[in-house]
Amino acid sequence: MNFRSRVYKLPWHFSYSAAYFCQFCCPYDLSADVAAAPTFAAAGRLLMACCPHFSIDLSGPLCFDRRGLLWLLRGTRRPGRIEERFYVMGSQASPLPDLFALPTHGGDLLGAEARFGRPPAGWLDLSTGISPFAYPLPTLAPECWQRLPDRDREDRVRRVAAAAYGVSGPDQVVMAAGSQAIIQALPRLRAPSRVAVVGPTYAEHAACWTQGGHQLSLVETLERAGDAEVAIVVNPNNPDGRRHDRRRLQALANDMAGRGGLLIVDEAFGDLDPTLSMAPEVRPGLLVLRSFGKFFGLAGLRLGFALAEPSLARALQSALGPWPVNGPALAVGEIALADHAWIASARGRLHREAGLLDGILTAAGLQVTGGTDLFRLVNAPRAWALYEHLGHNGILVRPFAAAPRWLRVGLPPGEQARARLQQALAAWV
């Protein structure tokens, strides 16, 4: 790998007009945000936000084209100096180095500590869409820990999951250690295919299919999935809460079935509104993903499901291998998924809590543009600066490298946490 470094001496207010184009995130004009950045480092970080598919056209002294070139802008606090490093990688697109990279997942408290230091009052982690109101853990029999999970218990969990999600039988249920494990396994089941992901969305779909050697396109709407052989949509979507009409999904699933394709509907946040779910429609051409950890607030348990017609379900389950879910997770899942009273009351509670969060965000002058009852999406002109401000106050939210105006904010776990968020937002200028 060749490495070259150049230092430009530029006035801070160097004039440029920038146009950023990204087929995935739609065109952004970041000029106002770059101009408002307090330091070159912040401006550099802002520029780094452009997603990997972009081309950047600066009609000023700096000109980059990320296709075939991996670049890193480094600023210092001294105005007038900007260092530019190039890693020349031939025609290979490569992942960005970590220096200014924003987190790619929520919940990374170690990363947050490396960036902001350890907050004296401890972290208030609002960077995920995991419920802070967890299902009460039952006392488990020692065998759950001691013995390998047996077929009986796995079958019972499949039956309970089939009833909870509305599929016709346990032969349509695949279990795994979180739906992420299924997202990783699915690309291995198909020969290289044209895959369309409706986005922006949970980045692991695109990452896993790309890694699996498939040809990926990121599209903004279902209609643009066009002639893809695999289409992936998250419903409701993370992070913007976008919902997709069931009839449109049904039509696409039928179309997929007709030509041997597959529609994958990721309903990780589907427990919040069962009327949206495509699970009862499962048939050839359609696979639905469900996550256990988010709604039940037990993400560390690692439990997730795919719902699919029996032959695809068998292929997927066998790709995941024996004992895909540990004994304690099976035991908790079996009880929790059948606890209809708890599920109904959790839905109501999450809805109320999300309303309280809206109140705090809008009172702070922030625009809530979407979300689900497990998180809200804020559109703010200086979202990264706000992310840093909150981080320095021990509150972690989720920024997005590909969308510099977005912040995802999870539910505060009660009165005190809400007051802390309120205070930190009040101190934001």
Ligand X SMILES: Cc1ncc(COP(=O)(O)O)c(C=O)c1O
- Where does this chain bind ligand X (CB under 6 A)? 178-180, 202, 234, 238, 266, 268, 291, 293, 299, 304
Task: Give the separation between CA 9 and CA 76, rounded to whole angstroms.
Answer: 12
Instruction: Please name the residue that has the structure tokens 């839905």.
Output: 347
Task: Give the separation between CA 236 and CA 297, rounded to whole angstroms.
Answer: 18
In whole angstroms, how close is the CB of 47 to ligand X at the nearest point?
27
Tell me the three state secondary structure of residue 191. Answer: coil
In whole angstroms, how close is the CB of 304 to ligand X at the nearest point?
4
The tokens for 216 are 């990926």
C-beta of 37 vs 225, nearer to ligand X: 225
C-beta of 293 vs 297, nearer to ligand X: 293
C-beta of 229 vs 266, nearer to ligand X: 266
In whole angstroms, how close is the CB of 371 to ligand X at the nearest point?
12
C-beta of 288 vs 378, nearer to ligand X: 288
In whole angstroms, how close is the CB of 367 to ligand X at the nearest point?
22
C-beta of 33 vs 334, nearer to ligand X: 334
- Report, in angstroms and rounded to the nearest whole number, the Rg of the chain calculated over CA atoms: 23
C-beta of 187 vs 293, nearer to ligand X: 293
In whole angstroms, how close is the CB of 10 to ligand X at the nearest point?
40
C-beta of 293 vs 370, nearer to ligand X: 293
In whole angstroms, how close is the CB of 124 to ligand X at the nearest point?
19
Point out the residue whose Cβ comes nearest to ligand X. Answer: 178
**Cβ neighbours for 343, distance < 8 A, ≥ 6 positions apart:** 271, 295
Question: Is residue 313 within 8 Å of residue 174, measured between CB atoms?
Answer: yes
In whole angstroms, how close is the CB of 378 to ligand X at the nearest point?
17
Task: Give the separation between CA 359 and CA 376, rounded to whole angstroms.
Answer: 11
The tokens for 39 are 């330091």
The tokens for 222 are 């279902």
C-beta of 266 vs 353, nearer to ligand X: 266
Residues 286, 166, 249, 273, CA torsion sign: negative
Give me the phi and psi of 268, to 5 degrees please: -55, -30
Least Cα distance to 266 among 168, 339, 198 occurs for 198
Question: To the nearest 10°, the Cα dihedral for 88, 92, 97, 102?
Answer: 130
In whole angstroms, how close is the CB of 288 to ligand X at the nearest point?
12
**Cβ neighbours for 401, distance < 8 A, ≥ 6 positions apart:** 48, 49, 51, 101, 102, 104
Question: Is residue 79 within 8 Å of residue 43, measured between CB atoms?
Answer: no
Question: Is residue 41 within 8 Å of residue 72, measured between CB atoms?
Answer: no
